[in-house]
């Protein structure tokens, strides 16, 4: 069975410094090893893919990527350079790699133009966004131009976590809770809900957003969200689709990246349906072979396994 991974990270020597803040989250030896593997695009990576039975990776720039850059002009140049580099890697290995573009969201109009260039000229399959951009989230009205372009191109945006703007009070004094173990998932799920209540999916009803890590917890709270939305003060906000769960089921696609556990997968299948779940390994932060073994042995039907493994990615990304 063909397997396509959608959350597969890399970095370039020019951009590696942006990840220093994330490096403090990992154990030092784990960060050194991950950093080494991030820089390797085709050598050891391809060998590991072969050993694990992973046919294709959709590569994306590691968090926080270009969004950590404070100067808009520099970000625009960096995005073009890294997308050109990625396109070259894909061109050299078209059966093994595809790519998500990096976007200079510091300049919304330039980001929209870069998305179109990356898709139409470079063959990218969408773009990956690492959380906020200097405190600006994807529901910001200035970024509607990016959503308009993504919807027009019929490509998804993949929303990936990064360190937040500030430290939530409840986490202060507990740095062990910062990062992918807890705070990143909470922040990313909240970011998606900003898009729902900020009207992005009402403005662009067919826009597509991808979340990793089995949906950052969202598939498991749908009934509760709808129940409380029908109870809460709406503060002047009304949703065209009525309930927040409708946006999760319509606009959201999730990947299994970083979650090799049957219980959340089965819950996600019941909540979203098999057409909205795709495969990912979270390489190099999770073990590729563990992820593919989970895919092969998860207690799901063979029809659903094929959708998760490759059919949904082929349909959504045109692979």
In the sheet with 56-61, reading across from the earlier edge strand, the strands are 4-10, 56-61, 97-99
Structure tokens of 104?
Answer: 């200079």
pLDDT tens, the chain, 319 aa long: 999 999 999 999 999 888 877 777 888 898 899 889 999 999 999 999 999 999 999 999 999 999 999 999 999 999 999 999 999 999 999 999 999 999 999 999 999 999 999 999 999 999 999 999 999 999 999 999 999 999 999 999 999 999 888 888 999 999 899 989 898 999 999 999 999 999 999 999 999 999 999 999 999 999 999 999 999 999 999 999 999 999 999 999 999 999 999 999 999 999 999 999 999 999 999 999 999 999 999 999 999 999 999 999 999 999 9
Q: Which of 25, 91, 132 is nearest to 35 (CA)?
A: 25
pLDDT of residue 166: 84
pLDDT of residue 21: 73
pLDDT of residue 22: 74
Across 199-221, b (16+ Cβ under 10 Å) vs e yields bbbbebeebbbbbbbbbbebbeb
pLDDT of residue 71: 97
The pLDDT tens digits for 252-303 are: 999 999 999 999 999 999 999 999 999 999 999 999 999 999 999 999 999 9
Of 107, 139, 187, 282, which residue is the catalytic one?
Answer: 282
pLDDT of residue 297: 98
Secondary structure letter of residue 16 according to DSSP: G
Whether 95 is catalytic is no
Beta bridge partners of 127: 101, 157
What kind and span of H or E run contains 9? Answer: strand 4-10
pLDDT of residue 18: 86
Other beta carbons within 10 Å of 226: 16
Phi, psi of 95 (to 5 degrees): -85, -10
Cα dihedral across residues 199, 200, 201, 202: positive or negative: positive
* SS3 state at 275: helix
Half-sphere exposure of 217 (CA within 13 A, CB side): 16
CA distance 116 to 118: 5
């Amino acid at each position: 069975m063909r397997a396509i991974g959608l959350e597969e990270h890399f970095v370039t020597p020019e951009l590696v410094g942006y990840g220093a803040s994330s490096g403090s989250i990992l154990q030092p030896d784990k960060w050194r090893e991950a950093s080494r593997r991030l820089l390797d695009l085709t050598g050891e990576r391809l060998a590991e893919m072969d050993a694990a039975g992973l046919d294709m990776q959709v590569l994306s720039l590691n968090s926080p990527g270009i969004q950590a850059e404070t100067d808009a002009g520099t970000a625009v140049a960096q995005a073009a350079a890294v997308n050109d580099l990625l396109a070259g890697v894909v061109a050299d290995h078209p059966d093994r790699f595809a790519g998500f573009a990096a976007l200079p969201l510091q300049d919304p109009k330039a980001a929209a133009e870069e998305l179109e260039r990356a898709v139409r000229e470079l063959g990218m399959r969408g773009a990956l966004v690492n959380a906020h951009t200097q405190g600006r989230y994807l529901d910001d009205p200035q970024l509607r131009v990016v959503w308009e372009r993504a919807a027009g191109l019929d490509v998804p945006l993949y929303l990936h976590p990064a360190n937040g703007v500030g430290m939530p009070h409840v986490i202060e004094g507990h740095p062990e809770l910062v990062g992918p173990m807890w705070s990143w998932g909470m922040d990313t799920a909240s970011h998606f809900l900003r898009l729902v209540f900020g009207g992005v999916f009402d403005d662009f009803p067919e826009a597509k957003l991808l979340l990793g890590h089995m949906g950052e917890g969202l598939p498991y709270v749908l009934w509760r969200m709808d129940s409380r939305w029908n109870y809460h003060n709406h503060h002047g906000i009304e949703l065209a689709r009525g309930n927040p769960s409708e946006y999760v089921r319509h606009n959201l696609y999730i990947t299994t990246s970083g979650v090799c556990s049957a219980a959340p997968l089965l819950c996600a299948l019941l909540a979203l349906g098999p057409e909205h779940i795709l495969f990912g390994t979270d390489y190099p932060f999770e073990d590729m072979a563990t992820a593919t073994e989970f895919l092969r042995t998860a207690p799901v039907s063979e029809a659903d396994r094929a959708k998760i493994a490759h059919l949904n990615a082929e349909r959504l990304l045109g692979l």
